[in-house]
Amino acid sequence: NNSGYFGALIGRYGNRIAKGRFTINGVDYQLAQNNAENSLHGGLKGFDKVVWQAEKLDTPEGPALKLTYTSKDGEENYPGTLRCEVIYTLTNNNELKIQYTAETDKPTFVNLTHHSYFNLKDAGASDILGHELMIKSDKFTPVDKGLIPTGELKPVAGTPFDFKKPTAIGARVESDDEQMKFGKGYDHNWVLNRQGKDLELVASLYEPTTGRFMELLTTEPGLQVYVGNFLDGTNKGKGGTAYQHRTGLCLETQHFPDSPNQPDFPTTELQPGEKYTQTTVYR
């Protein structure tokens, strides 16, 4: 029942689709507009709100959980029956490895992601402003007031979005930059500097008081960073901790928001006979 997508597996389309509309092969589709006039994280009953079949696996890498779900043709008004499999592995190398696959019987759009909030200091008892974030990215996708990408790929240089060197999240989160005002802080997609299709290190997070350090690897072209701008203490977590403003941050590996309506963005269209794959590692 919570609205924060805490720890959730997100689909059929992570992030926003403008006005909840897209077109495939000349057919227009209207999705639920559950985030102002836009569609967010799969609609009213996205993949975070359905029951997945769960199977325990013992793998050479470590213990794993295989989750499977079939999203029927027309569910949340998306075309095509989409068969999804997601495997979470807690590896012997202290990693949380997430492997996603999906197949469809009709052309459709797919963008699966993971929505855990991280606080490497004290599990959400205090804010994450001292965490130092590094992102291997020269560009980000600016948004309009509704947080929909304008289509531009803007250089991060000279902006609050330059995290090529580890920088405290709180250093520029309150800047007068128009983009920061639109998101009420960081709630944006970075265009990752990637060499190929393989798993690559794209970001890291460091908490200086505890010395905890996390690296992020992915096969995806984008990274949505959200720093808990809309947390307000109404959601309580482990130990009864009330999650206040900016007490956690999300590092959501993904394709870019609104890709179905942005022809210049990497495509999220999946055709019958093709297989969607995505791998992300938090270590």
Across 94-98, 105-109, 177-181, 196-200, least confident range: 196-200
Catalytic residues: 115, 252
Q: What is the pLDDT of residues 61-95, one digit of tens each?
A: 999 999 999 999 999 999 999 999 999 999 999 99
**Can you tell me the mean pLDDT for 245-260?**
98
Q: What does the pLDDT read at residue 197? A: 82
Q: What is the pLDDT of residues 156-193, one digit of tens each?
A: 999 999 999 999 999 999 999 999 999 999 999 999 99
Residues in CB range of 42: below 8 A, 6 or more apart: 10, 11, 12, 13, 14, 48, 76
pLDDT category at 195 given cuts 50, 70, 90 is confident
pLDDT at 18 over 90: yes
pLDDT at 238 over 90: no
Q: What does the pLDDT read at residue 262? A: 98
Across 47-51, 194-198, 245-249, 262-266, least confident range: 194-198
Q: What does the pLDDT read at residue 121? A: 98
pLDDT at 246 over 90: yes
